[in-house]
Amino acid sequence: MTTEPRRAPAYRTQNWSLAKPSARGRKGVVVSQNHEAAAAGAAILEAGGNAADAAVATAFALAAVEPWNSGLGGIGFGVVLKAGESRAQVVDFGPVAPRRADPADYPLTGAMKFDLFAWPEVEGDRNIHGPLSFCVPSSVAGYARLKERFGTSMPVGELLQPAIALAKRGLAQDWYTTLKIASSAAVLRLYEESARIYLPGGLPPVPPYQGVPGFRTLGNLGATLEHLAKAGLDDFYRGDLARRLAADIAAVGGVVDAQDLAECRATVREAPVIDWRGTHRIHTAGGLTAAPTLQAVVEGMAASPPPEGGPDSAWFARLSQVTREAYASRLEGLGAAQMAKEPGETCTTHLTVVDGEGTIVALTTTLLSSMGSRLVLPETGVLMNNGMMWFDPRPGSANAIAPGARPLCNMCPVVVTPADGGYPRHGAGASGGRRILASVYQMLAFTLDSGMSLEDAAHQPRIDVSGPDGTSADARLPEGTLDALAAVGPLTVVEHGVLPLNFACPNMVRSGQDGQEGISDAASPWSAAVAAN
């Protein structure tokens, strides 16, 4: 029995203990925030595909079963470590502003906007939702590059079949769907096709009281996936679908055009490496992701490993200080680019795959906000990202809006190798916007330093530091830990709930000489690790 901490939330939404198993598979494991998508990837492994093939199949499936976090209209980064190699590669399909992006299209109101970021408010929130919030949709290019560079000869059309079947069936109208759609309903209702799909009768869908949930198709998404399966993924950017997509965007008032699509490319480069106390190498996406801040935290904690068996109060207190300092450095010079102090629903999706040979793919993709721009393109069924929200809307500022510019973002997929090049190896990442960094670091520390199993690490209560001004702590942490955290800075004690408001949703795979294993986020109701045997 645990004692209720003195600073526990005054109101609890959950009075239960959650548990989620890991999975072990001879042919590998796929971990995703949705069981059906993970099962789609595992089926590809069982059919002879490798980790890259399975990751692509899972990513496309997620567009049909978890549409608020990722999809054809999104962006992302992947880190890939091929079996037998010691250096990972990055598949970079990160956010890029359209070539006709114009700061004048984002006039300021003079107020501040507290959403995922505390930027100056733009008239009509046009950087947050609607047609002017789109960055160039690069997810399909990223998945294509991942398949071409690292996949097998399995046809792309075969990888898309699970996504096509799921899209034709439709999105499950269960309680979690209701919860997620309701949180975005106030904006979804502003856009005709979005409202038609997600707000039948003008309201979020309500599941039946008994039996299986109903299903609702996501507009023309299924037809678009079928077209890609036949025409190839490049058609999204330089073919018939590209022409229809550009026309779709123009019809709703967006500025992403045919040239933006034609020039969209995903690149592959060597992954930057972070030294982990001389024992491991952390392969990251580098650049304008959370990787440089992760490196600052790793370096700041180098002399403070958590005790074997699990972290103690002194370790958590030190992590709070180091991470707040790292965020202060990250945001230095950005002025208004402070993380919002109010909690906001996490978004993005992360999937991790390991195949039977030991190749690992850690892939993070996003629409940025939950439901991205909230605008579904009516002719193609693509839910577009709201990547322009990553930019500071003040003209001339750091991280400012500019044609073809790339903003700072929070994604942090990683692959881990022992310093001696041996085993075990890990892949990890998380969804959750600004909360990703802290969760990824803690999962690494729990497994690499404390020697926790994947299951123990996934169930260990964590803290979150999303900026320089304070720490959130899981109410399940011991009271002594909460006291230590409160002594080093502002502390808020929160629940780790099934609606991901307060903590990110990490997942992880492990590849060892004894086989492959994976674990998903314990609190996420739909997530799962699915084995291939």
Q: Which residues are catalytic?
A: 348
Give the distance from CA 239 to its chain's centroid. 29
- Dihedrals phi, psi of 181, to nearest 5 degrees: -70, -40
Q: 517: which residues sit within 8 A by CB, 6+ positions away?
A: 22, 23, 24, 29, 454, 509, 510, 529
Cα(334)–Cα(436) distance, integer angstroms: 20
Burial of 116 (0-12, 13-18, 19+ CB in 10 A): buried
DSSP 26-75: SSEEEEESSHHHHHHHHHHHHTT--HHHHHHHHHHHHHHHSTTT-STB-E
Q: Quick one: which of 67, 137, 152, 68 has its CA closest to 97?
A: 137
Peptide bond into 525 cis (omega under 30): no
Cα(365)–Cα(79) distance, integer angstroms: 12
Residue 288 is encoded by which pair of tokens?
């304008």
Q: 73: which residues sit within 8 A by CB, 6+ positions away?
A: 134, 137, 139, 367, 372, 373, 377, 382, 383, 384, 385
- Number of C-beta neighbours around residue 11 at 10 A: 6
Location of structure tokens 């203990």: 17
Burial of 275 (0-12, 13-18, 19+ CB in 10 A): middle
Secondary structure letter of residue 10 according to DSSP: S
Cα(508)–Cα(518) distance, integer angstroms: 6
Cα(525)–Cα(136) distance, integer angstroms: 31
Helix axes 156-169, 51-65, angle to 10 degrees: 20
Q: 262: which residues sit within 8 A by CB, 6+ positions away?
A: 237, 238, 242
- Report the SS3 class of residue 415: strand
β 491-494/505-512 pair status = unpaired
Cα(283)–Cα(80) distance, integer angstroms: 9
- Report the SS3 class of residue 250: helix
Cα(463)–Cα(446) distance, integer angstroms: 13
Decide: 451 and 356 in contact? Cβ < 8 Å: no
Cα(358)–Cα(32) distance, integer angstroms: 18
